[in-house]
Structures are given as C-alpha cells and as structure tokens.
Amino acid sequence: MGQHRNHPNISNIPKSTDTGRPLGAHHSIAGGLIQAVFLAKSYRSTALQIFSKNANQWSGKAISDAEARLFREGVTEAGLRFVVSHDSYLINLGSAKEDLFEKSVHAFVDELQRAELLGLSGVVTHPGAHLDSTPEEALLRVVTGLNMAHKRTQGFQVKTLIETTAGQGTSLGWRAEQIGWILDKVDQPERVAVCLDTCHLFASGYGMAPGEELETTISQLDSGFGLKNIKLIHTNDSKKPKGSRVDRHAHIGQGHIGMVHLQAFVMHPKLAHLPLILETPKEKNEAGEEMDEVNLRLIEGFQTMAL
C-alpha cells in the first residue's frame, strides 16, 4: 500500500491487481471528488466511500457533467470495484416534524441523484431517530420517506444501503428486526439493502467471539433482515464496550472488539465475500504512518491469518 498523498495524474500510480473482496476506506473529497480516487488508488484499494458533498450541510454545489465524467473515468482507471457515498448526517427520515421530514426527503433525493450521476453502487444512510415519537411511528415515517425518494428517482441503479446503528440516543436501526421491517414494507425492496457496521453492531449488543456467540449473531442478523440483503461491511473497532450503545470508532485491534473477534466476524463464511470499508480516525501513528494504511494492512491480513 502506498503513502497518503495527492497525485496530479492518477495514471502514475499502479492500480491494484487484487481480485478478492473489495477493500478500502472512506476518503475526503477536499479539493474535488477525484481527490478521493487518488487517495484510494495510492493505497491500492479496490473499494471507496465518500461524502458527495459536506455531510454537515443540507445542500452542496451541483456536480458538473465534466466533474462526474472525470470521477467515473478515475474510478475505472484506479480499478475500484465498489464505490459508495454516505449521506448527510442532518437527514432524519424518522422525524415527526413535518418540515424536517420534508427537508430530509428532499436532501436524500439529492444524495441519490448525485450518486447516480457518479455511477456509485449505493448511498449509505442511517435510518434516523425517533426523538419524541415512538420507534414504531418513526419506522413508518422512514418507509414513507424512502418510498417518496425512490418514486422521485425512478429507474435509478444506485441502491439505498441502510446502516446498522449503535442505538445511541433514539437512533433507529440498532436491532436487525427494525431494518428488516423497513425492507419488508418499502414499495421497491429491490432498491434497498443493508450496510453492517462492526463498531455499531458490537456497541448495540451483538457479540463476535468465535464460536457460539458469533453464530448466534449471524443467526440473529439473518432472521432480522436476511444475510442476502447485506452489501457492505464498515469495518471498525469500538472504543466502547459491547452493549454500550455508544458510537465511537477505534482503529483495528485497538478497541473492545479486538483483532481475533473482528477477524472472525468479517471472515465468517457467510460474510467473507462482502466489501470491507474502513471508517476509522484519520491520523498518524508514532512511526508517522497514516493509520488508514495501517488499518487496511491489518484487515487485508485477515484473509491469511489462521482463525
């Protein structure tokens, strides 16, 4: 894997020849969307996640046809086989406040449109929070909001990837059954799939210890929303213990999940084909290495370590 740096010409960097499961990280688009592709290629990645605009704003600058074409050509040149975006943190399709709900639907439609223009595989979204209403009422609003967004984007190829959450505050999606309910109720289920997050799963109470605990978790996920519906795994350790319901990502092997349990989970035979994307903190270690490079090296090694 290469050094963390910008490159004026993507063709200067040899692309990955890996044909296994797609592997990569979330990278910044500071300086332009293509910059994230440069970073991914510098790490020899085969997967990538981005924000298609500022995640803390409702709207962003429109993506020009030229910028979209440059991005799509860059993805092909870099050998990236799985690329997704993550939507704005402001979106809450579970809100009982009509103005916030409508604003969230409009913003999610924009996220889908931007992703479709860029040729992405999916848009990762948190299912929202119920706030002052009940979880059941909020889940129904999520379904309504997704139906509205999908109706306004008929014919799109990009999928909506509902992410499992840690259950912090009043967040929805911390139980597999909640996400399964959404998948069962939406009008166009073929447009919706699941993104697992290892930190979130663990913090919400799903264990990953090899053996009975792991098999119980796999069974619970399958009965909750169906393993066939999972399209991506966000691969992160957790700064907080199992069942804490606190969302704090840690570097691989430096949290409460640990290397052995994390490897056992992502290499489980029923999950081992899925893309892995890091969302770990952006910083350097004491040796001056970018932690993205360290973490990618560790999860790449999961495939050769003895379980």
pLDDT score recorded for residue 19: 53
**pLDDT tens, per residue, the chain with 307 residues:** 333 334 345 455 444 445 589 999 999 999 999 999 999 999 999 999 999 999 989 989 999 999 999 999 999 999 999 999 999 999 999 999 999 999 999 999 999 999 999 999 999 999 999 999 999 999 999 999 999 999 999 999 999 999 999 999 999 999 999 999 999 999 999 999 999 999 999 999 999 999 999 999 999 999 999 999 999 999 999 999 999 999 999 999 999 999 999 999 999 999 999 999 999 999 999 999 999 999 999 999 998 764 4
For the chain, the C-alpha Rg in angstroms (whole number) is 19
Site of tokens 């992703």: 115
Q: How far apart are CA 86 and CA 255, in angstroms?
A: 24
- pLDDT at position 158 is 98
| Domain at 10-301, CATH homologous superfamily | Divalent-metal-dependent TIM barrel enzymes (3.20.20.150)
The pLDDT of residue 131: 93
Helix (H) or strand (E) holding 277: strand 276-278
Question: What is the model's pLDDT at position 264?
Answer: 97
All residues at 6 or more sequence positions from 129 whose CB lies less than 8 Å from its CB, including other chains: 92, 94, 95, 138, 169, 170, 171, 172
98: left (phi over 0), alpha (psi -120 to 50) or beta: alpha
Q: Tally Cβ neighbours within 10 Å of residue 6.
A: 11
CB atoms within 10 A of CB 220: 17
Quick one: 289 exposed, middle or buried, by C-beta within 10 A (0-12, 13-18, 19+)? middle
Written as one string, the DSSP assignment of 212-248 is: HHHHHHHHHHHHHH-GGGEEEEE--EESS-TT-----
Q: Report pLDDT for 20.
A: 85
CA distances (Å), origin 264, targets 63, 226, 271, 272: 40, 19, 10, 10
Q: What local confidence, expressed as pLDDT, does residue 18 receive? A: 57
Q: Where are the domains of the chain?
A: 10-301
